[in-house]
Amino acid sequence: MSLPPRPPTLARVPEGTRDVLPPEWQWREHLRTRLSGVFAAWGYRGVEVPALEFAGEGHPQSARAFKLIDSGGEVLALRSEFTTAVGRLVRARFPDGPFPLRLQYGGRLWLRSLTSELGRLREFGQVGVELIGVATPQADAELLRLGLHALEAVGVSAVMEVGYPGFVDAVLEDAGLHGAAREALHDAVDRKSGADIGLLAAAHGLSTEVTRTLHALTDLYGGPEVLAQAGALARGERARAAVAHLEAVAPLAGISSGLLFDLGASRRYGYYTGLTFRAYTPGLNQPLLGGGRYDLGGLPGAGFAIGLERLTEATAAGLPPEPELVLALDPAGAEYARAQGLTAELAWTDQQPDLLAYCQRRGIRRWARGETLTEVGA
């Protein structure tokens, strides 16, 4: 059996990309504008960074970025995440601050490889903020509060999960684990895989006490009471400092409900230098918002990003009805209809059969002439 012919290339889009049609585009722009307004009200000023960057192996998304060579032989990459680009901008444009520096951004990102975490998209939109130049509990708490407040502003009730990948690393270090064993156990703990932890502990000859501690890491999930449990596992200075920092952040965040701690999370522990956080909403198994604390070339920074495609999906039920569309037969009719809060398209011809056929296909019930609205065809 032969396969059906593929559509012409001009009718297709590359895998991992998609067209956006008018209703979704309008709602997404509303969300973008609303979030930008919230960020601005908290003091975050907007910046824009190029979609093309110099490629480099030190970039956190280097292995997954689209790369190209320009006419001068330079290897370039399409922007694959914002934090690195904003960090470059800060070092170049704000070397002396003043700090703390609050910036917001928005735009498209591209990745060469597909990922389930991004809904199998290779092109997607994000908005986000960066709080740069300070590394205090107050700064981290501000980002947690702002993240939840921004989502609430667009009608999303979310739960914020806070982790500290360095805590897991510190506990593993205190247990005397290094190299491949430490790396493998990081992954097992992050996946909450008790079976793999047991197998790895046996393979590397870990003591019963250390194995029990590693299993305990996977259970460190819940409200602020989890921090006390984590403190009991903290033996060294790094681990104790991580718990103390979270204990300082929790009351400052001012979130009476919707704040959970996952002290067994160790995703990208080599990248994040402090806490991490993700916001989830019922009905979606992927986070709407993600962020954390990292190093921007010697400058402390923290921030978060919100995925616009995923946010659009989460808020689809709240999409308001579009204003009634009318067809204006003259410019005066268009102005009058728009003044009434309607959407007005201007007739492109005097041929009534063409106008009637168009109105039928578009679902237009009324047309406007001067200051009069009448049923189509009347």
Provide the pLDDT for residue 69. 95
More confident residue, 167 or 115: 167
Provide the pLDDT for residue 269. 66
67-69 β-sheet, strand order:
52-54, 75-78, 67-69
Name the pLDDT band for 266 (thresholds 50, 70, 90).
confident
261 labelled as ligand-binding? Answer: no
More confident residue, 115 or 61: 61
Same domain, 166 and 241: yes
Position 205 pLDDT exceeds 60: yes
221 labelled as ligand-binding? Answer: no
Same domain, 184 and 256: yes
- Tokens 């005397």 found at: 176
Concatenating the DSSP letter of every residue in 163-202 gives E-HHHHHHHHHHTT--HHHHHHHHHHHHTT-HHHHHHHHH
pTM for the full predicted model: 0.90
Same domain, 126 and 221: no
Q: Give φ, ψ of 36 to 5 degrees.
A: -60, -40
Provide the pLDDT for residue 58. 83
271 labelled as ligand-binding? Answer: yes
66 labelled as ligand-binding? Answer: no
pLDDT digits (tens, 9 = 90+) for 55-82: 988 888 888 899 999 999 999 999 999 9
Q: Average per-residue pLDDT in the chain?
A: 91
Same domain, 86 and 103: yes
Name the pLDDT band for 343 (thresholds 50, 70, 90).
very high
As a whole-number percent, the residues of the chain with pLDDT over 70 amount to: 96
**Which residues is 345 bridged to in the sheet?**
327
Provide the pLDDT for residue 77. 94
Same domain, 113 and 175: no
- CATH number assigned to the domain comprising residue 189: 3.30.930.10
Same domain, 333 and 312: no
Position 1 pLDDT exceeds 60: no
304 labelled as ligand-binding? Answer: no
Same domain, 203 and 333: no
pLDDT digits (tens, 9 = 90+) for 122-157: 999 999 999 999 999 999 999 999 999 999 999 999
267 labelled as ligand-binding? Answer: yes
* Residue 10 placed within a domain: no
126 labelled as ligand-binding? Answer: yes
Q: Which of 252, 303, 360, 286 is nearest to 134 (CA)?
A: 303
167 labelled as ligand-binding? Answer: no
**Could you tell me the residue range of the domain that residue 103 belongs to?**
18-156+289-322
Average pLDDT over residues 193-213: 90
349 labelled as ligand-binding? Answer: no
